[in-house]
Amino acid sequence: MLTLLFFGRDLRLTDNPALAAAVARGGPIVPVFVLDDLDAGEWAPGGASRWWLHGSLCALDDSLRQRGNALVLRRGRAESVIEQLLHQTGADAVYWNRRYEPWARARGERLKKTLRNRGVEVRSFNSALIRDPWELTTQKGEPYRVFTPFWKALRAMGVSEPAAVGPARIPGPATAPESEPLSSWALRPTARDWAGGMQAMWTPGEVGAQARLDDFAVGAACDYRVTRNTPGIAGTSRLSPHLHFGEIGPRQIWRLITAQAFARTGNPMPIGVETYLSEIAWREFSYHLLFHFPTLPDAPLRLEFAQFPWAENAKGLAAWQRGLTGYPIVDAGMRELWSTGWMHNRVRMIVASFLIKDLLLHWRAGETWFWDTLVDADLASNAASWQWVAGCGADAAPYFRVFNPSLQGAKFDPDGNYVRRWVPEIGKLPNTRLHSPWEAMPIELADAGIRLDRTYPAPIVDHGGARQRALEAFKRIKKS
């Protein structure tokens, strides 16, 4: 009796139901991770995600070795790899935790059918979500398309207990199958190491995830409603990449956050904690949408947006990507993203609004850029969030919501800490001019050492005119 444990987006040992079931079954376990680039197609991991994956796999292998086992690495189509390993090991069971990307769902169904026809025991589990996407439906039995009732239904259903803590020992086979060296996958940059900022900021792996959760739970969680919109302070959990790679699960987060809140306040759900957990629920909602509407990453949920008159502006897109738009809060966000693989959520909304509504560029251009540059590039959350800003998704932002980047910067970065960190060339401007340097007097620019369009660009678009252009285009779609 031998079990293949097929790892995917569940790179942890605690609250891993597939692992717990494999240990309970008895007998040796062969843990395997398959780099499924070919299965994923255009949604194979981007550059930043590949960097993170390398560190996460190293951490998982270390944890397995401490428990008497080791991670087997294979690259290729998962169905072929599983077939090879069944032949090489004589395994009679394959366990895994479910994934919800359309291609992964289809692959899982094919695997189950093929393996069961061969007499192999197959079991899949939920480790990534609080509830599977099919567990929540409206009173009509339909999927939710509005977040607030989804959130209420999720809260009413409750959160199950996380699976048991990671086992002290995970028995391995007498002879382990051959594993490919991780270095051969070239997940980290080679010719030019652009990942220095990510290395300084992040610790991929289950230990790093738990440490970040512990810090947040005893620190900023209860104040989250107040601190979450200020990018210049450490007011958010920054757990999103750990969640994406399954180094920690949402049930673990929910239980620890509420327990710590109760210990501090006598209330497991103070307003700050409730606000934070609603963000975890937004992630759940995004997966709910992806499951029920699998074209979410590629096509607007509101079909009339297929006819939207998107602009063609390669120069504007490049300026946005490089953080050279002339709008400091936008440029700060894009530079933070490039350096660290992450961006504050408030700033994500601002830069997305700028791309879509000021430049009138297709939301998929932003989705694609984020996919390659975010360490938390998550197919469901990325697609749902971009469609929300564009107004073409479920529970979308109203078409007339067009963020003014200067006002947003002044409101959420009033002391300029965030902009000064990422756009240092304008850092000597007073706070009153920092978020709109083109309005500064010539003497103010000179004193700050700024020459517009030389040391820092003038705005690439006039926000007032761009806003009007966007509103007119969105009105035509609304009428249609």
Q: Which residues belong to the active site?
A: 279, 282, 310, 345, 363, 386
Name the token pair of 480. 């249609």
DSSP assigned state of 437: G
Structure tokens that stand for 218 in this block: 């005893």
- What angle is formed at CA 443 by the lines to CA 439 and CA 449, rounded to 5 degrees? 90
Strand order in the sheet with 121-125: 72-75, 29-35, 3-7, 93-97, 121-125
Q: Where would I find the beta strands (DSSP E) of 112-253?
A: 121-125
Q: Helices in 228-327 by DSSP H: which ranges?
A: 240-244, 250-265, 271-292, 314-322
DSSP character for 326? S
Strands 93-97 and 121-125: parallel
- Alpha carbon distance 5, 85 (integer Å): 11
How far the first Cα of the chain sits from its last, in Å, is 62
Q: What sign does the CA torsion over 463, 464, 465, 470 have?
A: positive
Closest CA to 5 of 34, 23, 31: 31
CA atoms within 13 A on the CB side of 48: 27
C-alpha span between 281 and 381 (Å, rounded): 11
For residue 34, give the H/E element and its range. strand 29-35
